[in-house]
Amino acid sequence: MASNNRSVVFEGVKDFRVQDLDFPKLEMPNGNKAPHGVILKMVATNICGSDLHIYRGSFPFKQGAVLGHEMTGEVIEVGSDVEFLSEGDLVSVPFNVACGRCRNCRAGRTEVCETANPDVACAAYGFNLGDFTGGQAEYLFVPYADFQLLRFPDKDQAMDKILDLAVLSDILPTAFHGLMEAGAKPGSTVYIAGAGPVGRCGAAAARLLGASCIIVGDYDQDRLNLVANNGCETIDLGKDVPLTDQIEAILGEPGVDCAVDYVGSEAHGIGAQSDELLPAAAINQVLDATRAGGATGVIGVYGPDPIAPTEAEQEGIFPLEFGKAWIKSPHVTAGQAPIMRYNRELMMAILWDRMPYLNAMLNPKVITLDEVPNAYEVFNEGSAEKYIIDPHGMLAS
């Protein structure tokens, strides 16, 4: 058993470092013993767009805390109360920490577990949401393991598809959730705001659902090319043309059945405003792009943001164009995704080759722990790659 745990640690805004920390214990952040937990050896642990909020200073974070909430690992230590997992199992870790016992968990609302975080009904690894240590590390403690962890049925089969399965912990189910909340189904027309990794997962998920015209909007041509090469229409938001006009040029009408905001409050405007930070731009764009009677999913993160341009937005108050949208009888759902609602079905879709375009859209790049600080710098500038960390060289081999 290892005695330490090399981890990606937050030392300040745009200052992430790899440090040696103590090996994790089977105990909760408050120090209580956790016989319901396991220790995982990280096989793949990703950099997420949400981690960039911490990197840039939009999300407050504790100095010395470990980053990361997208994890796939091998069970190496099992708590005495764990019944259905064994050493050697390969598992995906939902980024929501959920007890499985509270009212919300029992209703399948694991994104708003009432007990894992004593401060608010929401807990996650690698955020200020319950002080659960992040997974950009060699090893990780996971509580409530029998309830939370998704075990891959065949370890060798899973390792053959590990770069796709690595996104089951967050961005693929998150992307799928946005589409579900927007009512996507076979034949639906879909607009996806943002061609970052989660938006590209949304494009892949829309194809899995049988959507007809899938339109993706972004400013980065390399990202747009990834989805265009895999059956999607694209909109360059840098062009000074209203979004609905660009949708109409593609679809023949100015609105889609389903629109999903995968950007959140770090959005920019369209055309002449494309260099301007406008935190409500993406949500207003998807409300505008949704046809009357359609539905909208808001998956991008909105919250108090200390680096937002206005005092109201710094407090989490955003200028929504709701008066214009109201007449269309909008259906809008927002918030984090309950990963466990979708991850098993999406796992099966990957294992049985029903998402062959996912890898091409993701454009994964495997990196070592030591390469992580530089990868954050590159990703912050708008990289078209999805960074997957290989702490033990298990992917490289």
Is the pLDDT assigned to residue 46 strictly greater than 70? yes
CATH number of 171-334: 3.40.50.720
Rg (CA), the chain: 20
Site of tokens 């060699």 = 138
CATH 3.90.180.10 fits 4-169+364-389, yes or no: yes
pLDDT reported for residue 53: 93
77, 226 Cβ separation under 8 angstroms: no
- With vertex at residue 88, the alpha carbon angle to CA 96 and CA 46, rounded to the nearest 5 degrees, is 40
CA atoms within 13 A on the CB side of 306: 10
Beta strands 190-193; 214-218: pairing state: parallel
- Joined together, the tokens standing for residue 330 give 């909008």
Domains 4-169+364-389 and 171-334 agree in fold: no
The pTM of the full predicted model, rounded to 2 decimals, is 0.96
Site of tokens 């962890």 = 149
- Say which DSSP state 257 is in: E
Alpha helices by DSSP H, listed for the chain, are 49-56, 103-106, 145-148, 155-160, 162-165, 171-181, 197-208, 221-228, 243-251, 281-289, 311-314, 322-326, 343-351, 358-362, 372-380
Q: What are phi and psi of 389, to 5 degrees?
A: -85, 135
CB-based contacts of 130, cutoff 8 Å, min separation 6: 29, 97, 116, 117, 118, 119, 123, 124
For residue 3, name the pLDDT band (cuts at 50, 70, 90): confident
How does pLDDT run across 24-34, given as a tens digit for each residue? 999 999 999 99
pLDDT reported for residue 251: 97
What are the residue boundaries of the structural domains of the chain, listed by start? 4-169+364-389, 171-334
For residue 1, name the pLDDT band (cuts at 50, 70, 90): low
For residue 116, name the pLDDT band (cuts at 50, 70, 90): very high
33, 92 Cβ separation under 8 angstroms: no
How does pLDDT run across 129-148, given as a tens digit for each residue? 999 999 999 999 999 999 99
How does pLDDT run across 185-208, given as a tens digit for each residue? 999 999 999 999 999 999 999 999
Is the pLDDT assigned to residue 318 strictly greater than 90? yes
How does pLDDT run across 323-345, given as a tens digit for each residue? 999 999 999 999 999 999 999 99
CA distances from 231 to 32, 175, 208 (A): 50, 17, 12
Q: Stretch 150-155: mean pLDDT, rounded?
A: 97
pLDDT reported for residue 102: 98
Q: What are phi and psi of 100, to 5 degrees?
A: 80, 0
